[in-house]
Amino acid sequence: MPSAMSSPAAPNEPVPPDPSDAPSKASSSKASSETSGQRVPDPAPLVRVENLKKRFAHHGQSVEVLRGVSLEIARGEMVCVVGPSGAGKSTLLHLLGTLDLPSGGVIRYEGIDVTALPPRKLASFRNEKLGFVFQFHHLLPDFDAVENVMMPGMIRGSGRAKLRRRASELLEEVGLAHRLSHRPGELSGGEQQRVALARALVLDPSLILADEPTGNLDSATSEAIHKLMFALNESRGTTFLVVTHSRDLAARMPRVVSMRDGRVEQDERRPAEPMEPSRLESSPAQTSTEEPSAAAS
């Protein structure tokens, strides 16, 4: 949130809105949450989506792809989004990622309507508060693993030496201590996704948005990445919203949002049957049987 743009917040820690940036509604809610000098925890969920709509123009016709999606995501939640192809899952993720604007409705992060932020603030918000993982990793081929992980920090202008240390630590955390200087083409598909996860985490985002992060991986490698996401959620408190076609993953998520025809058809919370988190100190990459992608692709 705006106040966090100058100093990154610890993961999962509510960030009070900055009254100079926020719409008046947000600042008044801050004021009301402070009584007799005592701070009451901010009741706003991490994300609140209200009646979100998205229309695209296609061959001169307007196609309504999201038809009023409402959703709340609490800090630290693990949420997956499932549904048939064309249901609007990626569109929802793009809007939540502030990569595109809705045609209607509101997206609030920690109480602040991000659809109303001016472009420069929106870019900082996206850079610092959100992490993205896509089906195809979108790593930069000419940079090694450490440099790829450093990239969001470079965009922000963080100090290089500190950033490099942080990137190396994160790569160790995702089990790639032995691949720091490899370029994407010298890594397997699973390793590439681990680098993408480390990159998504480098600025300690509140929320990771992942669109079919294992859609391109074999089942053993997918399983290792799924475990890693649970382990990162557990150890860092990072909130995950993951679009997936993986039944295995959906079966293990504590919350499953099912979409169809641009609407939320079902929003199911259930007792978590979490995967045994992968032990972060061991190298999960070494449990994978896959070949480096340079050979595979």
Ligand X SMILES: Nc1ncnc2c1ncn2[C@@H]1O[C@H](COP(=O)(O)OP(=O)(O)O)[C@@H](O)[C@H]1O
Pair 139, 148: CB distance under 8 Å: yes
* CA–CA dist 285, 115 (Å, integer): 39
Least Cβ distance, residue 47 to ligand X (angstroms): 18
Select from 202, 287, 185, 196 the least CA-distant residue to 238: 202
The option from ligand X, Mg ion, none interacting with 88 (CB < 5 to 8 A, set by class) reads: ligand X
Least Cβ distance, residue 225 to Mg ion (angstroms): 18
Strands 78-82 and 61-73: unpaired
58 or 120: whose CB is closer to ligand X?
58
90 or 124: whose CB is closer to Mg ion?
90
107 or 187: whose CB is closer to ligand X?
107
90: number of Cβ within 10 Å: 17
The option from ligand X, Mg ion, none interacting with 78 (CB < 5 to 8 A, set by class) reads: none
State which of positions 85-114 bind Mg ion (CB under 5 A): 90
Q: Which residues bind ligand X (CB under 6 A)?
A: 56, 58, 63, 65, 83, 85-91
The option from Mg ion, ligand X, none interacting with 17 (CB < 5 to 8 A, set by class) reads: none
Pair 274, 268: CB distance under 8 Å: no
The option from Mg ion, ligand X, none interacting with 247 (CB < 5 to 8 A, set by class) reads: none
Least Cβ distance, residue 210 to ligand X (angstroms): 13
Question: Residues for the chain: how many in total?
Answer: 297
Least Cβ distance, residue 100 to ligand X (angstroms): 8
The option from Mg ion, ligand X, none interacting with 187 (CB < 5 to 8 A, set by class) reads: none
Query: What is the chain's alpha carbon radius of gyration, rounded to the nearest angstrom?
Result: 19
99 or 294: whose CB is closer to ligand X?
99
- Amino acid identity of residue 265, one-letter, is E
Beta strands in 74-183 (DSSP E): 78-82, 104-109, 112-113, 130-133
State which of positions 71-90 bind Mg ion (CB under 5 A): 90
Pair 92, 267: CB distance under 8 Å: no
Least Cβ distance, residue 206 to ligand X (angstroms): 23
90 or 115: whose CB is closer to Mg ion?
90
Pair 228, 235: CB distance under 8 Å: no
156 or 245: whose CB is closer to ligand X?
245
* Beta bridge pairs of residue 61: 58
Least Cβ distance, residue 261 to ligand X (angstroms): 9
Q: Identify the burial level of 97 via C-beta atoms within 10 angstroms of its C-beta, where 0-12 means exposed, 13-18 middle and 19 or more buried.
A: middle
Least Cβ distance, residue 41 to ligand X (angstroms): 34
Q: Which residues of this chain interact with Mg ion, rule CB under 5 A?
A: 90
